[in-house]
Amino acid sequence: MTSDKVTPSDLRASKARGERIASLTAYDYPMTRLLDECGVPLLLVGDSLGMVVLGYPDTTHVTMAEMEHHVRAAARARPRALLAADLPYHSYETPEAAVAHALRLVAAGAEAVKAEGGREILAQVRAITGAGIPFIGHLGMLPQHVLEEGGYRIKGRKEAEREALLADARALADAGAFAIVLELVAPAVAREISEGIAIPTIGIGSGPDCDGQILVTHDLLGTFPWFTPKFVKRELNASEQMRTAVTRWKQAVEVPAGKTL
């Protein structure tokens, strides 16, 4: 990739060249700027911010106003990376609602939007891409459906699920999606989908054979230590470093140098 702004076509071209795509979540100005300085080409203002920033139990509580607030903050970093944002829960029930909310995210600074689902949201996907807004699909475990599903579990182990995932992926690609996130998809099925469509798959907990990988940055860096998904290999234990630094500083304030209690 060049030093120019990353576009959906660049990401498709990466797949065509067999180059893997690294992607991370970013919810605010400093993190977007830092990850962009590291050259990560695809940044997502994910509704996972509901859990790791806002303290909600799951993503179903995240509002449109909260997404817009975080997209504006991330966009102020003016990243070279493509900045995508999640359409929050219940914001894309109809094609009209999907376009209206996608346009609000674009007005806030998003350059692409992502929504969860396959053939059941195809009319919405066509409406979004028809409005000229780049779209990323999301298949497999759908966090916005966690309450109906009763938890986070791997998809694609049953033959019917495998067939449905493959059909959904093809339908999203045909409807104009430029990439698809595969979350908690059985690795063999994630590989089959990746080999079967021209647009890149970006995996999370779906094995090594996707065209790219995405993680929640807080999981990668250890800034949300109270829960880390099993598939994450943490690269940093930032919460421990923060605790050590704050404790050291607090002790220095409470017991100034040269004084003993």
Task: Report the interface residues with ligand KIV, using CB under 6 A.
Answer: 25, 44, 46-48, 86, 181, 183, 204, 214, 216
Q: Which residue is nearest to ligand KIV (CB)?
A: 46
CB of 86 to ligand KIV, least distance (A): 5
> One of 68, 111, 183, 192 is an active-site residue; which one?
183
CB nearer to ligand KIV: pick between 59 and 129? 59
CB of 237 to ligand KIV, least distance (A): 20
CB of 215 to ligand KIV, least distance (A): 7
72 contacts 37 by C-beta, under 8 angstroms: no
CB of 143 to ligand KIV, least distance (A): 6
Is position 120 annotated as part of the catalytic site? Answer: no
CB nearer to ligand KIV: pick between 14 and 25? 25
Alpha helices in 81-175 (DSSP H): 95-108, 122-130, 146-149, 159-174
CB nearer to ligand KIV: pick between 70 and 191? 70
Amino acid code (one letter) for 142? L
CB nearer to ligand KIV: pick between 46 and 222? 46
Secondary element (H or E) of residue 43: strand 42-45
DSSP code of 249? H
Which contacts of 45-50 are long-range, i.e. CB under 8 A and separated by 24 or more positions?
A: 45/70, 45/71, 45/74, 45/83, 45/84, 45/85, 45/86, 45/110, 46/86, 46/114, 46/216, 47/86, 47/88, 47/89, 47/143, 47/144, 48/143, 48/216, 49/25
182 contacts 204 by C-beta, under 8 angstroms: yes
Which residues are catalytic, by number? 183
